[in-house]
Structure 1
Amino acid sequence: MTAPRRIGLKASCVVGFDGSRHVLWRDGEVVIEGARILFVGRGFPGPVDQWIDYGNALLGPGFIDLDALGDLDSTVLTLDNGDERDMGRMWSAEYLATGPRESYSFDEEVFKYRYAFTQLIRNGITTAMPITSMYYREWAETFDEFAAVADVAAELGLRTYLGPCYMSGMQYLRADGTLAEHWDEPRGLAGLDAAERFFREFDGSHGGLIRGALLPDRIQTCTPALLQRTAALSCELAAPVRLHCCQGPGEVKRVKRLRGLAPLAWLEHLDLLGPRSVLPHGIYIEGDDDLARLADSGTSLIHCPVVFARDGEALDSFGRYRARGINFALGTDTWPADLLDNMRQGLNIARIKAGGNQGTSALDFYNAATLGGAKALGRDDLGRLAPGARADITVFSLAGMHLGPLFDPLKNLILAGRGDDCIASWIDGRCVMHDGQVNGVDYASLQHQAQQQFHALMRSHATRAFGQPDWRSLFQPAIPFADAWSEARPLCTLASASGQ
């Protein structure tokens, strides 16, 4: 049997791991052999088949995004555009009565993942647990869809934790503006069956690059039976469970009304708090009791600071939760797929909420994006550069003038860096991006198709809004267009994206 090739990577700065924490090597080296890291440090003594010198760059562990956008993000449509309920971002009673339908074809559903996964790799994310929106689906995600998504992830080389999202209910809007729930228990349980089938068939596939996960939609859209069966299946399969909760006052009020308990107490009652549970977003909690529930159970929180800050909401606070021993992972949850931006904004927000800079450091956020994400997944071979770890490695250029004079590469990147400062990415020992180019992806064609598909998504909003208004009336640009929208030129970017 032929021995795997040894490839050595060099950079002016290398983030190693000493067994308990990240450490910085100046003029460092990383040697990989197959899918594993063989050496981190300086002066590797053995033979190497190929050396690659990245020069003035930070070579570090790949980022782990556990609420990674797998979609064409539609939040740009909601920015400064009034109440989301008036623009088809929620099912209307009228839409529900006529029968919900898919906004995309099967191929379009799969394409959105190709587009999103490419963006993740471009931003230095090497492990992702994707999230998409259910409001424009007929119901939830399907086995066949995710079988195709697994192939896309493997083709691009992205390490993913996948499974079709499932739910047993959907909230909808009545004509009088009040909210109601539509429940379909059999459909929810069938969705869990599909998720179990996916896990059993795909967990560990493509050389271990694809792993399974149980991904119920949100705590308020799942019945007790669905969550109880999820908890039992997680135990049986040793599968991670991600469940969105504690993300809004309306959710908390609704769960208390439906279940008689606040969200985290309800999950505790269902045995859904524990080391395999990863919960976005944990913002609206019931004080110290909930912090104790999270810490004592070993549950991890996925912190997504940017998407909540856009609506004036924030965790109170990152430092306070960490001081109680709660493990944090990071997520993007929205466009752009830039975890550096989430670190920067998250750090600023945490200090504003805490009223000072003592409780949270830049390193705390970097740790959350690496070691914290790995801990949430139960993986001691991810999120670090150390002998024996998987060779998931990112290279961030330090040459950009926007970074300013360098003192500490990590601080400079968190203060001024961008996701696209990532110039190379290695996942499982395979170089999946070089010089900012993801292997095998035509960026111009990808963007053109995404723009066309996004236009179709915009049109679909009218079918969910009461009265099915002209879709163009639902979205208002920041600066009014000088001429009227038309089918020939609905958006100023559509023509340029097609190269016309």
Structure 2
Amino acid sequence: MNTPRIGLKASCVVGFDGARHVLWRDGEVVIEGSRVLFVGRGFPGPVDEWIDYGNALLGPGFIDLDALGDLDSTVLCLDNGDERGMGRMWSEEYLRRGPRESYSFEEEVFKYRYAFTQLIRNGITTAMPITSMYYREWAETFDEFAAVAGVAGELGLRTYLGPCYMSGMQYLTADGSLAEHWDEPRGLAGLAAAERFFREFDGAHGGLIRGALLPDRIQTCTPALLHRTAALSRELAAPVRLHCCQGRDEVALVKQLRGKAPLAWLEQLQLLGPRAVLPHGIHIEGDDDLARLAGSGASLVHCPVVFARDGEALDSFGRYRARGVNFALGTDTWPADLLDNMRQGLNIARIQEGGSEGSSALDFYNAATLGGAKALGRDDLGRLASGAKADITVFSLDGLHLGPLFDPLKNLILAGRGDDCVASWIDGRCVMQHGQVQGVDYPALRRQAQAQFHKLMQSHAERAVGRSDWRGLFQPAIPFADAWSVERPLCTLASQPDQ
């Protein structure tokens, strides 16, 4: 049977001329199977079906290399004081009792279904997910990721997956100081599970699922764990994502434990190279470290929104780019909106750089597309050109909030939001049309997420110092006026029995 050709039209189409994105007015994209056949105007051949999206920007799908795969707990921490005391870090007492899972196996898998739906809904077509470990017994498992791969394949999301692994974590002692707990065998067992997942699932679901090595954070991994990770990455040609240079405490701890700053230590371990995908890089140790990073070919995953919430920012997006650092983008938090990260990232960069010359709107759009593709070693993603993967997003330009149109990309970055995305095609399959992710019951998804989030809130009391009543750990921005709401912070859960 012949593969049908599908033609997509829109008032604006972002093509790729071999070196850069270019904008076609009243453009067309023709896809055949999983690939783009044509971008431009006036396709000369036969097309089985044309879909006209009208006044819209049709462009390459976004690539999110620190994509939230969780029910995010940021709303619990916002303006709520030191999060270490609210159960987002293990207490010494909790560690002594023996950590446990906060969710069931089915709930662990559900959180990915919820998160992946959000990613697609916001125009993200390729994701490397991230979740928190603080509410886990330890780290992630092979079995749950076998199920997660099935969810990604069902929804049609292109993902780079693997169970997160670690050999230690910090905990809060009774006197309020921090200490480290290490379990080297458990870390190495986690790496073995990650290798098994890679060998069994890399290329699954028609190539939508790709394997990746995803150690937790640089300060939670021992030298043996990272040394073996580096060797396995070379053997499998696997990308390695490792969170590093994201906090002053992390940098100080790595220096104390390993005798070097994070990037110098990664270089010593032979982990600092083109396959290294590094969120967040906001605490780089001067020009020497910047030169080390740029010369290595490693990519930084920039997540401006999540750090701005805590008053932190990358030193200079523009200066790092000028030195040759490749940037990808990530969300790392809720909402899964890369347009918001582009907008806030651009504004933050200009404040940090003291002007508008060093960073442009296009720089951030490139990071969300071409930069992410480069970080993954893919020249068939992040662009619309003949032969590229048919990963396509359609952003409506009809929203009143977008204002009068001049340049659709500038309008979207200045005023757009993720849910302006009305359609998404991944690997040539329409996974979302008219804002509806195929096969997903939005109200049912939200109800289950809300109930599961309630369970997560309750679990904080087990980890908090003193095992406080969970109701007192989180405070609303405006105090509740009635006693019932004080007893039950989540008003939408009024019909649920107390637990």
TM-score where L is the length of structure 2 = 0.98
1:148 counterpart residue number? 147
Matched residue count: 497
1:387 counterpart residue number? 386
Question: By how many angstroms is 1:489 displaced?
Answer: 4.5
Note the 1:210-225 alignment, pairs <5 A.
210-225=209-224
Note the 1:71-470 alignment, pairs <5 A.
71-470=70-469
Asked whether the 8 Å contact 2:11–2:57 carries over to 1, the reply is yes
1:313 alignment partner AA? E
1:148 alignment partner AA? A
CA distance in 1, matches of 2:491, 2:2: 54
User: Post-superposition, which runs of at least 4 consecutive aligned residues in structure 1 deviate over 3 A?
Assistant: 485-490, 495-498
CA distance in 2, matches of 1:3, 1:304: 43
Residues 63 and 497 (structure 1 numbering): CA distance in 2 closer, same or farther, change over 3 Å? farther
CA distance in 2, matches of 1:486, 1:453: 19
Asked whether the 8 Å contact 2:471–2:488 carries over to 1, the reply is no
Asked whether the 8 Å contact 1:275–1:299 carries over to 2, the reply is yes
Residues 352 and 496 (structure 1 numbering): CA distance in 2 closer, same or farther, change over 3 Å? farther
CA offsets 1:393-413 (integer angstroms, 9 cap, x no match) = 000000000000000000000
Asked whether the 8 Å contact 1:391–1:427 carries over to 2, the reply is yes
RMSD between aligned residues: 1.2
Question: By how many angstroms is 1:482 displaced?
Answer: 1.0
Question: By how many angstroms is 1:466 displaced?
Answer: 1.5
CA distance in 2, matches of 1:404, 1:497: 43
1:25 match: secondary structure: strand
Question: By how many angstroms is 1:184 displaced?
Answer: 0.2
1:40 match: secondary structure: strand
CA distance in 1, matches of 2:259, 2:488: 51
Residues 279 and 496 (structure 1 numbering): CA distance in 2 closer, same or farther, change over 3 Å? farther
User: What are the ranges of 5 or more consecutive residues in structure 2 without an aligned counterpart?
Assistant: none
Question: By how many angstroms is 1:494 displaced?
Answer: 2.7
Asked whether the 8 Å contact 1:451–1:497 carries over to 2, the reply is no
Asked whether the 8 Å contact 1:295–1:325 carries over to 2, the reply is yes
2:59 counterpart residue number? 60
Asked whether the 8 Å contact 1:472–1:485 carries over to 2, the reply is no
Asked whether the 8 Å contact 2:346–2:361 carries over to 1, the reply is yes
CA distance in 2, matches of 1:250, 1:488: 36
2:358 alignment partner AA? G
1:228 alignment partner AA? H
2:280 match: secondary structure: coil
1:91 match: secondary structure: coil
CA distance in 1, matches of 2:312, 2:30: 43
2:145 match: secondary structure: helix
CA distance in 2, matches of 1:443, 1:383: 28
Residues 485 and 100 (structure 1 numbering): CA distance in 2 closer, same or farther, change over 3 Å? farther
User: What are the ranges of 5 or more consecutive residues in structure 1 without an aligned counterpart?
Assistant: none
Asked whether the 8 Å contact 1:66–1:331 carries over to 2, the reply is yes
Residues 487 and 360 (structure 1 numbering): CA distance in 2 closer, same or farther, change over 3 Å? closer
CA distance in 2, matches of 1:77, 1:59: 36
1:82 match: secondary structure: coil
CA distance in 2, matches of 1:210, 1:50: 28
CA distance in 2, matches of 1:90, 1:397: 42
CA distance in 1, matches of 2:370, 2:363: 10
CA distance in 2, matches of 1:482, 1:424: 42
1:19 match: secondary structure: coil
CA offsets 1:65-116 (integer angstroms, 9 cap, x no match) = 0000000000110000000111011000000000000000000000000000
CA distance in 2, matches of 1:33, 1:323: 38
Asked whether the 8 Å contact 2:56–2:397 carries over to 1, the reply is yes
Asked whether the 8 Å contact 1:66–1:128 carries over to 2, the reply is yes
1:257 match: secondary structure: helix
CA distance in 1, matches of 2:336, 2:282: 21
TM-score where L is the length of structure 1 = 0.98
2:432 match: secondary structure: strand
CA distance in 2, matches of 1:130, 1:230: 19
1:114 alignment partner AA? R
Asked whether the 8 Å contact 1:485–1:491 carries over to 2, the reply is no
Which stretch has the larger CA shift, 462-471 or 144-153? 462-471
2:206 match: secondary structure: helix
CA distance in 1, matches of 2:406, 2:493: 42
Asked whether the 8 Å contact 1:15–1:58 carries over to 2, the reply is yes
Which stretch has the larger CA shift, 214-223 or 479-488? 479-488
1:51 counterpart residue number? 50
CA distance in 1, matches of 2:228, 2:266: 13
Asked whether the 8 Å contact 2:485–2:491 carries over to 1, the reply is no
CA distance in 2, matches of 1:470, 1:341: 35
1:9 match: secondary structure: strand
CA distance in 2, matches of 1:122, 1:342: 16
CA offsets 1:3-61 (integer angstroms, 9 cap, x no match) = 21100000000000000000000000000000000000000000000000000000000
CA distance in 2, matches of 1:484, 1:13: 54
Asked whether the 8 Å contact 2:87–2:462 carries over to 1, the reply is yes
Asked whether the 8 Å contact 2:421–2:435 carries over to 1, the reply is yes
